[in-house]
């Protein structure tokens, strides 16, 4: 018996096929990541991009449609297509899902409490994909709705990306944190993963949120990513749900 013939044939895995419009999308995301088009900038027209990449306008349009669905780009009727920015008021509620039981949209007020550079613990390092002991900017703040403290945020940021961030700087800024990160540090949050669980209030969180230790809070743990699927923020939000609830629209 021929032993060579009896052995199973080992085939090299075939390369993953990527549709042409996805390849164009990848090229465009690279341009965003490298800063060719900044937040709020208009991107070239579909015809210009088709010429640049030597593809049809339909292929470019499909890539742009997908990027718009992922909140990377924003189409404006009669004006063109623009890079999404956290300065757009419409982006505010994309990452803030807590809403009053009344259904009224209320602008929250951020009250920074602390900001310091610390060494990353093993847990923080694992989430942010950095080395244990690497510098991390740790900040704490309260979110108030109509003056009522509703969310206590504990936020950890990759230190090398946010050098110079101080409590004074946070207190002097009146827009969202993500607008600050985008405008002053060139770091744009493009997507996030969240995990929710019920936890008992400890004396610290309970005291700041006006609830007794042991009462239930909703803990929302968020990891936010920038271009290249790089995690840059880990946030633990302790939420009082006496008059507020977490809303996520599906479909």
Tell me the sheet residues that pair with 236. Answer: 154, 221
Residue 44 burial (C-beta neighbours within 10 Å; 0-12, 13-18, 19+): middle
147: left (phi over 0), alpha (psi -120 to 50) or beta: left
Contact of 220 with 244, CB cutoff 8 Å: no
Average pLDDT over residues 211-225: 95
Provide the pLDDT for residue 193: 93
Please count the residues of the chain.
Answer: 251
CATH number for region 20-83: 1.10.10.10
Please determine, for residue 97, whether its predicted confidence score (pLDDT) is greater than 50: yes
Which pLDDT tens digit goes with each residue over 145-195? 889 999 999 999 999 999 999 999 999 887 889 999 998 999 999 899 999
Residues 6+ apart with CB under 8 A from 186: 35
At residue 63, φ and ψ (nearest 5 deg) are: -65, -45
Average pLDDT, integer, range 228-246: 93
Residue 165 is classified by DSSP as: -
Between CA 15 and CA 22, with CA 17 as vertex, the angle to 5 degrees is: 135
Whole-angstrom Cα distance, residue 24 to residue 69? 16
Q: Does the pLDDT value for residue 63 go beyond 70?
A: yes
**Contacts (Cβ under 8 Å, ≥6 apart) of 213:** 200, 201, 202, 203, 206
Taking the C-alpha atoms of residue 152 and residue 167, their distance in angstroms, rounded to an integer, is: 16
Which of 196, 204, 248, 246 has the alpha carbon at shortest distance from 222? 196
Token pair of 16 as six digits = 């993953």
Q: Would you place residue 91 in the very low, low, confident or very high pLDDT band (cuts 50, 70, 90)?
A: low
Domain ranges of the chain: 20-83, 92-246
State the burial class of residue 60 (Cβ atoms within 10 Å of its Cβ: 0-12, 13-18, 19+): buried
CA pair distance 169, 165, nearest whole angstrom: 7
> What is the arithmetic mean of pLDDT over 23-47?
90
- Could you give the CA distance from residue 204 to residue 99 in angstroms, rounded to a whole number? 23
E-assigned strand segments in 71-229:
73-76, 80-83, 98-100, 109-119, 135-145, 148-158, 191-200, 216-226
Flag whether pLDDT at 13 surpasses 50: no
Contact 232, 161 (CB under 8 A): yes
Query: Which CATH architecture group holds 92-246?
Result: 3-Layer(aba) Sandwich (3.40)
What is the percent of the chain with per-residue pLDDT over 70, rounded to a whole number?
Answer: 89
Do residues 200 and 126 touch, judged by C-beta distance below 8 A?
no
């Amino acid at each position: 018996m021929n032993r060579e013939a009896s052995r199973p044939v080992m085939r090299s895995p075939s390369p993953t096929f990527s549709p042409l419009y996805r390849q164009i999308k990848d090229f465009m995301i690279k341009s965003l990541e490298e800063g060719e088009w900044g937040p709020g900038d208009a991107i070239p027209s579909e015809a210009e991009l088709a010429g640049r990449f030597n593809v049809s306008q339909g292929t470019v349009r499909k890539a742009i449609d997908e990027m718009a669905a992922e909140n990377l780009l924003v189409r404006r009727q009669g004006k063109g297509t623009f890079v999404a920015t956290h300065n757009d008021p419409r982006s505010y509620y994309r990452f803030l899902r807590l809403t009053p039981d009344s259904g009224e949209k209320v602008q929250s007020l951020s009250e920074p409490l602390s900001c310091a550079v610390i060494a990353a613990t093993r847990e923080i390092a694992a989430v942010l994909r950095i080395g244990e002991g690497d510098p991390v900017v740790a900040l704490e703040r309260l979110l108030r709705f109509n003056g009522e403290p509703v969310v206590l945020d504990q936020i950890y940021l990759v230190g090398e990306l946010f050098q110079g961030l101080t409590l004074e700087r946070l207190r002097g800024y009146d827009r969202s944190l993500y607008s600050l990160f985008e405008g002053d540090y060139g770091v744009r949050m493009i997507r996030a993963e969240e995990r929710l669980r019920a936890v008992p209030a400890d004396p610290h969180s309970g005291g700041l949120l006006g609830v007794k230790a042991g009462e239930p809070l909703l803990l929302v743990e968020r990891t936010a990513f920038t271009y290249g699927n790089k995690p840059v923020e880990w946030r633990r939000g302790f939420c009082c749900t006496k008059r507020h609830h977490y809303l996520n629209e599906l479909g």
